[in-house]
Structure 1
Amino acid sequence: MSDLEKDRFTIAIPQETIDDLKDRLRRTRWTADVDENDAYYGTPQAYLKELVDYWLNEFDWREAERKLNEWDNYRVTIDETPIHFIRKQGKGPAPIPLIMSHGWPWSYREWTKVIDPLTDPAAHGGDPADAFDVIVPSLAGFAFSTPANRPDMNFWKMAELWHTLMTEHFGYEKYAAAGSDYGALVTSQLGHKYADKLYGIWLSHRIHLDIFQGERPWDLTGGATVPPGVSDEVRDGILAFQDRFVSHVAVHILDNQNLAYGLADSPVGMLSWIIRRWTKWSESGGNVENVFPREHLITNATIWWVTNSITTSIRSYVNANRYPWTPSHDRTPIIEAPTGITFLGYENPPGIATKDVVQNFLDTPDEKPWYNPIYLNAHDHGGHFTAWENPEAVIEDIRATFRKLR
């Protein structure tokens, strides 16, 4: 078992890094395009200027840093890779360890609404028998899990790091895993390769482990067009999905480094890129601050900037294609670990009501070879940033999933 005290990590960004950030913000060269405030084209310039003014003149990084350090932060090196994580021990008769993986452009902070109820259920109206020891890493190459020392990092290699962290560093004989977005790939790989070492897994996104392979790894549609004869509702839903995600994946795979040069050099460019995703992927109604407080947005943006991790985080997409996933066994289901899945309404399949989502999943032929589902639940409310947007659903469903597996 690890001596956690020697692994403690304090977030302390040098003042010259903050000064350089503010200098770059002051010297922003704004675009001179027509209709730059039309959200059809991207993040409206007027709103972006509001955020930059807040970042420069109101946001207090040192106060944000103090709040970040209120969590128990740690950093270890595994296979020459720095891994940052926060950890909170459970309060109950027999807490089980749970490692939770975030997505892109998330950070470990998007899990923080659910950590206390999961570690101390009794203090939040729950059953102490449902307690977890919670470990939330920053994905390798993201945030404080930097600097990245390996050019080949991707989701299945992160899964190896997580397994080493849990079994060798912490010494757990068995553990649970949860994941969303890119972190769902990390978690699914654990459930595929190390099912015998897991109580089970919980997912908020079903992403097949071979998603970034094949002839069109950059195209989430696989080259398919909207099927003829579908209703206007279904057609609009398909096009909305494409509008939210297709360009994101395509650029991150096909032009990742070219994009990264601009984002790593311009804090405003970086902020605009990630704000667009936070806005379109969340159940925000077009106003991202309906979901994320401004302070939260800018804290996250500052973390990305001061750790210079935008490039290595984006690289995780193309590396899933360049270093493709290969199965560890030929059994079905491919992910043998018992699996709980949460579905949130903003991401319902086109034309499928929340009440029908679970049955739709069970009836979809492409899903059947992949999962060993033991708990499925659908909720009306919430978007892509699951644990932040609907923490009550996540808490309920994680508890229910692993209650059967302890």
Structure 2
Amino acid sequence: MKNVTEFKVTVSQQVLDDLKHRLQNTRWPGEAAGSGWNFGTSEAYLKDLAGYWLNKYDWRKQETLLNKYPQYIADVHGVKVHFQYIKGKGKNAKPLVLTHGWPDSYYRFHKLIPLLTEGDQSFDLVIPSIPGFGFSDKTSLGSEAVADLWKTLMTENLGYEKFYAAGGDVGMGVTKALASKYPEVVAGVHFTDVGYPMGQEDPATMTEAEKQFAQFVQQWWYAEGAYAMVQATKPQSLAYGLNDSPVALAGWILSMVNAGAPPELIEQAFGGKDELLTNIMIYWVTQTIGSSVKMYKVEAMAQWGGSQPLKKSNVPAGVAVFPREAQFPKEWADRFVNIVSFKKMKEGGHFAALEVPDVFAEELRNFFYSIK
């Protein structure tokens, strides 16, 4: 490995004591009786979660689990990139970079590690933190710039001639950029979404299924898209409160998690209370919620600035559509990637790697080992 140093998660007791003080002194705004999740994150639920966070959640235990697998910091074009790197045990393990989204983190994939590094069909897993997230540098970059870093990380820092890539949400944009810009080194890509209609498409070129999908997305945007509009326009204004109050941070993240899962499944969607809070803690202890949401502004500025869309890549692509994810048709995905496998999954949602890791790991293994 080149320009790489070992890393361990170590949070000072002072940070944890300060967190406890802030949780104990939360000023609750109140909510209308029976409002539930209709106005945003339920205060009743958030109070229960905050109580668990304060009295039962054990960060030191989670910190030990986070340090279970090897982690490193790489200097990539002057940007410090945090990543997990776990070698597969098979003789011909395939190098695979997994890219998370927002409001999750590299922790999104922790349940996949034992599933994808064992057996003959295994992977050398590289699981980075996007710059601006978690333990990487607090610099906010667009998807294409992140893809440039990943290409260098995989080929120069880690020395692979070719590699595979998978991602959803923000990670979808990074993975799509990798395939489009670097087809000579990216051997295959996998997605759980491929982007959404934003009113720029010519309706005359769209199938009826695509038009129905576009209508669904427009309705969803009006109902659930406030987070993205704020983050793409006024991320700095938002960052002050989220960086200062752990309950505000949790409330904002939970609002997005709830957009992809009904209230009764919100913990299941993330694997449980401990997993939900560990993901939130990664933002809290690194103070990266501000730099993470600014990525939306960086992406929006690129679009508003008239940047040319990425060309469709010929890299073989697999697509898995989980039932609690936006149900886009195959012809929509065909616009962006070279589909060789398109599957409608039977269970799971936006955070499938956390919710149904066995199902997701099997999908990744079957796809990547089916292509040359």
Question: TM-score by structure 1 length?
Answer: 0.82
Residue 24 of structure 2 corresponds to: 26
Residue 217 of structure 1 corresponds to: none
Change (3 A) 1:344 1:164: same
Q: 1:244 and 1:183 mapped to 2: Cα distance? A: 23
Q: 1:348 and 1:254 mapped to 2: Cα distance? A: 24
Residue 175 of structure 1 corresponds to: 163
Post-superposition Cα deviations, 1:274-293, rounded to whole Å, max 9, x if no partner, equal 012122213x4544123331
Q: 1:343 and 1:91 mapped to 2: Cα distance? A: 29
Match of 1:157 among 133, 145, 166: 145
Residue 342 of structure 1 corresponds to: 320
Root-mean-square deviation over aligned CA pairs: 2.7
SS at match of 1:7: strand
- Give the letter for the 2:178 counterpart: L
Residue 396 of structure 1 corresponds to: 362
Shift of residue 336, structure 1, vs aligned partner: 2.3
Shift of residue 223, structure 1, vs aligned partner: 12
Q: 2:214 and 2:109 mapped to 1: Cα distance? A: 33
Instruction: Note if 1:60 corresponds to 2:54.
Output: no
Q: 1:242 and 1:280 mapped to 2: Cα distance? A: 10
- Give the letter for the 1:270 counterpart: L
Q: Is the 8 A contact 1:37 1:43 kept in 2?
A: no
SS at match of 1:34: coil
SS at match of 1:98: strand
Shift of residue 302, structure 1, vs aligned partner: 1.3
Shift of residue 405, structure 1, vs aligned partner: 2.8
Structure 1 segments unaligned to the other structure (5+ residues): 123-127, 212-219, 225-229, 350-356
Match of 2:115 among 111, 114, 117: 117
Residue 132 of structure 1 corresponds to: 123
Residue 242 of structure 1 corresponds to: 221
Q: 1:290 and 1:7 mapped to 2: Cα distance? A: 35
Q: 2:89 and 2:273 mapped to 1: Cα distance? A: 33
Residue 374 of structure 1 corresponds to: 340
Instruction: Note if 1:268 corresponds to 2:259.
Output: no
Q: 1:61 and 1:114 mapped to 2: Cα distance? A: 21
Residue 215 of structure 1 corresponds to: none
Residue 214 of structure 1 corresponds to: none
Shift of residue 33, structure 1, vs aligned partner: 4.5
Shift of residue 97, structure 1, vs aligned partner: 0.5
Match of 2:352 among 378, 386, 391: 386
SS at match of 1:75: strand
Structure 2 segments unaligned to the other structure (5+ residues): 203-208
Post-superposition Cα deviations, 1:194-247, rounded to whole Å, max 9, x if no partner, equal 011111111111127xx8xxxxxxxx56799xxxxx9xx999966763366422
Residue 2 of structure 1 corresponds to: 2
Q: 2:214 and 2:132 mapped to 1: Cα distance? A: 37
SS at match of 2:184: helix
Q: Is the 8 A contact 1:177 1:200 kept in 2?
A: yes
Instruction: Note if 1:143 corresponds to 2:134.
Output: yes
Change (3 A) 1:235 1:103: closer
Aligned residues: 361
Instruction: Note if 1:319 corresponds to 2:310.
Output: no
Residue 73 of structure 1 corresponds to: 71
- Give the letter for the 2:256 counterpart: R
Post-superposition Cα deviations, 1:271-320, rounded to whole Å, max 9, x if no partner, equal 000012122213x4544123331111111111111100000000111101
Shift of residue 32, structure 1, vs aligned partner: 3.6
Shift of residue 7, structure 1, vs aligned partner: 1.5
Change (3 A) 1:86 1:309: same
Post-superposition Cα deviations, 1:75-106, rounded to whole Å, max 9, x if no partner, equal 12222222111111011121110000011001
- Give the letter for the 2:267 counterpart: E
Q: 1:222 and 1:33 mapped to 2: Cα distance? A: 39
Q: 1:13 and 1:50 mapped to 2: Cα distance? A: 25
Shift of residue 189, structure 1, vs aligned partner: 0.2
| Counterparts of residues 247-326 of structure 1 (less than 5 Å) | 247-282=226-261, 284=262, 286-291=264-269, 292-324=271-303, 326=307
Shift of residue 248, structure 1, vs aligned partner: 2.2
Change (3 A) 1:37 1:137: same
Instruction: Note if 1:206 corresponds to 2:190.
Output: no
Q: Is the 8 A contact 2:143 2:174 kept in 1?
A: yes
Q: 2:185 and 2:135 mapped to 1: Cα distance? A: 27
Q: 2:214 and 2:145 mapped to 1: Cα distance? A: 37
Q: 1:263 and 1:295 mapped to 2: Cα distance? A: 20
Q: Is the 8 A contact 1:59 1:295 kept in 2?
A: yes
Q: 2:317 and 2:308 mapped to 1: Cα distance? A: 18
Shift of residue 133, structure 1, vs aligned partner: 0.5
- Give the letter for the 1:174 counterpart: K
- Give the letter for the 2:173 counterpart: L
Change (3 A) 1:9 1:64: same
Q: Is the 8 A contact 1:99 1:135 kept in 2?
A: yes
- Give the letter for the 2:188 counterpart: G
Q: 1:240 and 1:93 mapped to 2: Cα distance? A: 49
Q: 1:348 and 1:261 mapped to 2: Cα distance? A: 31
